Structures are given as C-alpha cells and as structure tokens.
Structure 1
Amino acid sequence: MDKSRFENEHASFWIEGGVVYFVYKANSVVNLEAAKQIVADRIKFQREINYPVYCDIRGMKSADKDARNYLAKEGSSYTKGVAVMVDSPMSKIIGNIYLGLNKPTTPTRLFTDKNEAVEFLKQFV
C-alpha cells in the first residue's frame, strides 16, 4: 500500500499537513458493505493513528441508512475531528442527515469552503 496515497473503488485518501484527506469518487453509492470497506481501508492507510479527517462527500450520490449509521460510529474511529465538505443540495442533505440522525462520535462539521474546513481541522493536528 502506497504510504502517501491510497485509492479504492469508492474514494481516494492521502495525508497532508497532518490531516487525512478523504475524497469520494464521482457518483459513489455507499451501502453497508462499501462503508465497511471504506472505513477499514482508511484505518489501515492511517496505520491506526488518530488524525483529523477532511471528508469530501461531494462525489457521493447516495448512502443508505445502514451505511450512514456505520460511518457515523465506526467511521469515526481513529479520527480527532472531521470536516465534511458539501456543495450540492444532495450532499448537504446527506451531510445533515449524517450529523442530525447518526450523531458522529468525534467533533464533526459541514463546510462548503475548503479553507474553512482545513482551518477547523488545524485545531486537532
């Protein structure tokens, strides 16, 4: 596994400035199986070290209820804080459902501006 960058069928990850950048690929459809793979790959990529995570869900087309629940709980493993990047009405809906119903276990906020998201994460580096 490349230490500086990793990619699976759903997303790409890399570490920059002490932050894990996690970007969903265009039109990603996330079910429970995909969510488990995504989280396992991210944790393995991070070598089980806690990091703040920049999570760009703008490419995510949908995530079912089981996937959202899994991502909110187990998906928060090895994270110090999470900035969720949104832009479209659909990604904002997915992000708000995630925050409101699934209640992530680490500090998590939605952003539409990358610089603001990175500033939020700097407090956790």
Structure 2
Amino acid sequence: MNAAEDADVTGTIELSGGLLHLKWSPGDVVTERDARTLMHRARALSGGRALPMLVEMTGLEWIDQGALKAFAGTWPVKCAAVVGTSPVDQTLADFYMGRHKPAHPTRYFTSMDEALAWLNEDAPLV
C-alpha cells in the first residue's frame, strides 16, 4: 500500500492508553478497502498484542458488505465496544454482530462512558 492510498481512507485508528480507537465521521461510507487499510493500521499499532478497541460509528451512513466481512476477520483485539447514538447505528452494529459473528466479544453502547467501563472491565486498560 502506498502513502497516497493510505491517506485516502475513510476513518481513523489510533492507539491511546492501551486502547485502539477507531472513529468515523457522520455521513461516512466505509468500503472494503477502507476496512482492510484500517485493519492493517491496527496490526501495526498493536505491535502483536491483542488490545481492547473502542469503535465510534455515530452517524455512519453505510458500510458495504466487503467491509463488514473484512471487519469480521482477525483483528489484534481482545474485545470491541461499538458506540453509536441512532437507531441506524444500532441496526448496523446488530447486523454486523449477528451476521458476521466477530471472533472477539463485541457490544453496542449509546454511551461512551459505559463503553469505556465495559472495555476496562473486560480487558483492563494499561
């Protein structure tokens, strides 16, 4: 993957306090290429460790099937808390969790504080 392709990706992922933080902006449309690039970044950031992951998807417009399948693949993740605020966010999260059965514990939250508390309970943050 070259730098130009890497820069043109929907979404960001960072490592903060022992936690992978994946975030999209309202109105974003996520493709399979975006998903694979973000997963590649997560592997690089995690340094081979399985970490808890916070996913902010508030206002996400769409995730294509290829992206959903890619996201259901192997991540360097112990558990994932998905945060959204709308019925559409919850529908997308429920569909993903029900259809693609992620390999790590995954829960949907409408509160960032509750999501972080669950992540800390399931995998104490460093």
TM over 0.5: yes
Instruction: Say if 2:19 and 2:53, in contact at 8 Å, map to a contact too.
Output: yes
Instruction: Say if 1:50 and 1:78, in contact at 8 Å, map to a contact too.
Output: yes
Q: Which amino acid aligns with 1:40?
A: H
Instruction: Say if 1:52 and 1:82, in contact at 8 Å, map to a contact too.
Output: yes
Structure 1's 8 and 124: CA in aligned 2 closer, same or farther, altered over 3 A?
farther
The aligned runs of 1:20-99 (5 Å cut-off) are 20-74=20-74, 77-99=75-97
Spell out structure 1 runs of 4+ moving beyond 3 A: none
CA RMSD of aligned residues (A): 1.7
Pair member with larger Rg: 2
1:46 Cα deviation after fit: 2.1
Q: Which amino acid aligns with 1:107?
A: P
Instruction: Say if 1:12 and 1:25, in contact at 8 Å, map to a contact too.
Output: no
The TM-score with structure 1 as length reference comes to: 0.83
Structure 1's 109 and 71: CA in aligned 2 closer, same or farther, altered over 3 A?
same
Offset from partner CA, 1:4-58 (integer Å, 9 cap, x none): xxx8632233333322221113322112112111111222122232110001111
Select the structure that is richer in strand. 1
What is the rounded CA distance, in whole Å, between the counterparts of 2:30 and 2:99 in structure 1? Answer: 17
Unaligned runs of 5+ in 2: 1-6
Instruction: Say if 2:42 and 2:76, in contact at 8 Å, map to a contact too.
Output: no
Instruction: Say if 1:58 and 1:86, in contact at 8 Å, map to a contact too.
Output: yes
The TM-score with structure 2 as length reference comes to: 0.83
Unaligned runs of 5+ in 1: 1-6
What is the rounded CA distance, in whole Å, between the counterparts of 1:70 and 1:55 in structure 2? Answer: 15
What is the rounded CA distance, in whole Å, between the counterparts of 1:67 and 1:84 in structure 2? Answer: 16
